[in-house]
């Protein structure tokens, strides 16, 4: 968090609040901005006797809530009936500069004991930077308010989805996963130059890299988990990998048991779509006890490798048998290096369908199938 800035350095608030904040009896009204400029007919007067909040503290941050507290002088403290909270997305602070003057711009909370929880998925999004400032206020008999000056401006960032939120996503994904089809290999498509580079500079071993920001905005693996992307979906009529790919005309294929077996753990990472009819599920395969396994164990729901709706590994008559969900596109992240000598590299005969690429793809926030009721 950067050092607090004085209120006069920030322009008028810009983020509207559409609903009442849960559990706090908060209402949205039009107030003066942080510079003290009153909106027309705001019905608010300034009164310097009310204490100005200072030493703002933000704690217990989740993907859609936080606790806020501050210090106040005792002078006229008993007159405080409400707190005015100015909450803005940091990166979008100028996005509504031309909005109509009657659009609500503040959150108003009854003066409850501190710390106070601010919660609401309609305006708080995960992994997003916000600024917040506070006024104290006293509601008069005629309905008008007298207010203190604004506090200093504090910056903070909301958290990623928790395991609870990811479990909600998991349950939604299970509903549409469909029946299971057999598979025998994992595969990874890239350009020829990629495989040449791996041979020349990495001793023939593909190295894990940090996952991009595709998928759900609150996913705890985006920008943090290191791994190698593989696919495992098969064509319904052939039982083999499709010949088309958005990622390159050269394909590395490896027998499924070399990456996925009883010595690996399986985790659910994400569920999303990109304004399309088909949906993607991200799974993570991590060798037991590996750094990737330790990372996932703290953050992701773990799946039973023998019994789940997406990717299974079972022994039948001494042979490992694998199945994948038919109705979702699986993206599998393997968290350790993989040597090219464990599989084969060959050119595919199909097309390079760039429209299917998920590189840094943004999730459709309006899809009812793959969104949960917390910040997008």
Q: Is the pLDDT of residue 1 over 70?
A: no
Q: Evaluate whether residue 68 is within a structural domain.
A: yes
Residue 145 and residue 169 in one domain = no
pLDDT digits (tens, 9 = 90+) for 245-295: 778 889 999 999 999 999 999 999 999 998 888 899 999 999 999 999 999
Which of 106, 141, 158 terminates a domain? The answer is: 158
- Name the pairing type of β-strands 185-190 and 250-255: antiparallel
- Say how many C-beta atoms besides its own lie within 10 A of residue 8's C-beta: 11
| Segment 67-97, tens digit of pLDDT | 999 999 887 788 899 999 988 888 654 444 4
Is 0.85 topped by the overall pTM? no
Q: Please check whether residue 189 lies inside any domain of the structure.
A: yes
Residue 116 belongs to a domain with what CATH number?
2.60.40.10
Bridge partners for 266 per DSSP: 285, 303
Q: 330 and 187 in one domain?
A: yes
Place of tokens 């990623």: 160
Over residues 89-115, mean pLDDT: 63
Say whether both 219 and 327 belong to one domain.
yes
Q: Do residues 152 and 295 both lie within one domain?
A: no
pLDDT tens profile 115-174: 999 887 557 889 889 999 999 999 988 888 899 999 999 999 999 999 999 999 999 999
The fraction of the chain above a pLDDT of 70, given in percent, is 79
> Is pLDDT at 183 greater than 90 in this prediction?
yes
Per-residue confidence (pLDDT) for residue 74, from 0 to 100: 82
306 and 190 inside one domain: yes
How far is the C-alpha of 51 from the C-alpha of 150, rounded, in Å? 10
- In terms of domains, do 127 and 230 share one? no
- Does residue 355 belong to any structural domain of this protein? no
Domain count, the chain: 2
Q: Give me the half-sphere count of Cα atoms (radius 13 Å) on the Cβ side of residue 135.
A: 27
Q: Is 297 a residue whose pLDDT tops 90? A: yes
Say if residue 204 is in the same domain as residue 267.
yes
Both 111 and 234 in a single domain? Answer: no
Q: Which domain holds residue 87?
A: 54-158
CA gap 69, 61 in Å, rounded: 13
Report residue 102 as tokens: 């009657």
Most confident of 71-80, 100-109, 213-222, 262-271: 262-271
In this structure, the dihedral spanned by the alpha carbons of residues 327, 228, 303 and 128, taken in order and rounded to 10 degrees, is: -90
Does 179 reside within a domain?
Answer: yes
Do 252 and 199 share a domain, yes or no?
A: yes
Is the domain of 115 the same as that of 258? no
Q: Average the pLDDT over 92-114 and give the result.
A: 59
Same domain, 132 and 216: no
pLDDT (0 to 100) of residue 228: 97
* 28-32, 190-194, 338-342 — most confident range: 338-342
Q: Which of 143-157, 219-233, 347-361 has the lowest mean pLDDT?
A: 347-361
Band of pLDDT at residue 359, cut at 50, 70 and 90: low
Mark which of 134, 158, 182 sits at the end of a domain: 158
Instruction: Give a yes or no: residue 74 inside a domain.
Output: yes
106: in domain: yes
Last residue of a domain, one of 133, 158, 183: 158
Residues 315 and 243 occupy one common structural domain? yes
pLDDT band at 358 (very low <50, low <70, confident <90, very high): low
The predicted pLDDT at position 351 comes to: 61
Least Cα distance to 334 among 280, 279, 257 occurs for 257
pLDDT band, residue 302 (cuts 50/70/90)? very high
In a domain? residue 41: no
Give the per-residue pLDDT at 353: 56
Residue 201 lies in a domain: yes
């Amino acid at each position: 968090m950067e050092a607090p800035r004085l209120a006069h350095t920030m322009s008028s608030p810009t983020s509207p609040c559409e609903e009442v904040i849960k559990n706090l009896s908060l209402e949205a009204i039009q107030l003066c901005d942080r510079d003290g400029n009153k909106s027309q007919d705001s019905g608010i007067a300034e009164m310097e006797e009310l204490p100005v909040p200072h030493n703002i503290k933000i704690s217990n941050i989740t993907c859609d809530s936080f606790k806020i507290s501050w210090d106040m002088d005792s002078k006229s403290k008993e007159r405080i009936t409400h707190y005015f909270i100015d909450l803005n997305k940091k990166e979008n602070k100028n996005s509504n500069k031309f909005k109509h003057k009657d659009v609500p711009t503040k959150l108003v909370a009854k003066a409850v004991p501190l710390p106070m929880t601010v919660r609401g998925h309609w305006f708080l999004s995960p992994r997003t930077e916000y600024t917040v400032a506070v006024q104290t206020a006293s509601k008069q008999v005629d309905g008008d308010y007298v207010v203190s000056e604004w506090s200093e401006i504090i910056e903070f960032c909301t958290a990623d989805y928790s395991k609870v939120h990811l479990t909600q996503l998991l349950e939604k994904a299970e509903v549409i996963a469909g029946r299971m089809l057999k598979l025998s290999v994992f595969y990874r498509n890239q350009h020829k130059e990629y495989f040449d580079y791996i041979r020349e500079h990495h001793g023939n071993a593909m190295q894990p890299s940090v996952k991009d920001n595709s998928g759900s905005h609150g996913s705890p693996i985006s920008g943090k988990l290191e791994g190698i992307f593989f696919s495992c979906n098969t064509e319904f009529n052939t039982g083999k990998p499709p010949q088309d790919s958005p990622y390159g005309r050269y394909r590395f294929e490896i027998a499924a048991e070399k990456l996925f077996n009883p010595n690996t753990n399986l985790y659910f990472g994400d569920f999303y779509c990109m304004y399309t009819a088909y949906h993607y599920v991200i799974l993570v395969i991590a060798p037991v006890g590996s750094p990737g396994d330790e990372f996932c164990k703290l953050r992701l729901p773990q799946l039973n490798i023998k019994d789940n709706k997406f990717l299974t590994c079972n022994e039948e008559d001494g042979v490992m048998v694998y199945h994948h969900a038919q109705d979702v596109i699986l993206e599998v992240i393997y968290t350790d290096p993989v040597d090219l000598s464990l599989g084969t590299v060959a050119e595919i005969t199909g097309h390079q369908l760039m429209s299917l690429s998920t590189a840094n793809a943004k999730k459709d926030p309006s899809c009812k199938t793959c969104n949960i009721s917390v910040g997008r």
